[in-house]
Amino acid sequence: MSGLINSISFQENTVSWVQAEVDGIQSINVRRVVESPLPFVINFDNVQNGSTAVKIGSHLRSLADSHEFDLSRVRFLLSARFGFVKKVAVDDTINHELYGDLIRQDLHQTMASDPTDFYIYQPEYFRETDTLREILTVAIRRDLFRFFQRIGEEAGMVIEAVNLNCFSLDELYRRFFPNLMGETVLMSFTERGFEYVLSDERNFVNTGFRPYSKTLQSLDQLDDKMIYSSFNALLDAIQQPDNVDHPAYNISQVFLFGGAFKSSWFDTLQTRSPLPLRILNPLEISDWQINSEDPNFQSLGAYRFIEPLSNIF
pLDDT value for 2: 64
pLDDT value for 131: 75
> What CA–CA distance (Å, rounded) separates 137 from 139?
7
Of 38-42, 179-183, 244-248, the poorest mean pLDDT is in 244-248
pLDDT value for 277: 98
Residue 129, phi then psi, degrees to nearest 5: -130, 115
pLDDT value for 247: 85
Q: Is the pLDDT of residue 29 over 90?
A: yes
Cβ-based neighbours of 32, under 8 Å, separated by 6 or more: 17, 18, 19, 67, 68, 69, 293, 294
Q: Pick from 116-120, 208-212, 240-244 the range whose average pLDDT is largest.
A: 208-212
pLDDT exceeding 90 applies to what percent of the chain?
A: 78
CA-to-CA separations, 62 to 52, 59, 68, 188, in angstroms, rounded = 15, 5, 10, 27
Q: Is the pLDDT of residue 268 over 80?
A: yes
Segment 87-116 shows an average pLDDT of: 83
Set out the domains of the chain in order of their start, with CATH numbers.
84-141 (3.30.1490), 178-280 (3.30.420.40)
DSSP codes joined into one string, 129-193? ETTEEEEEEEEEEHHHHHHHHHHHHHHT--EEEEEEHHHHHHHHHHHH-TT--SEEEEEEE-SSE
Q: Is the pLDDT of residue 63 over 50?
A: yes
Of 94-108, 247-261, 285-299, the poorest mean pLDDT is in 94-108
Q: Is the pLDDT of residue 1 over 50?
A: no
Q: Is the pLDDT of residue 183 over 90?
A: yes
Q: Is the pLDDT of residue 6 over 90?
A: yes
Name the average pLDDT for the chain: 93
Q: Which is more confident, 15 or 245?
A: 15
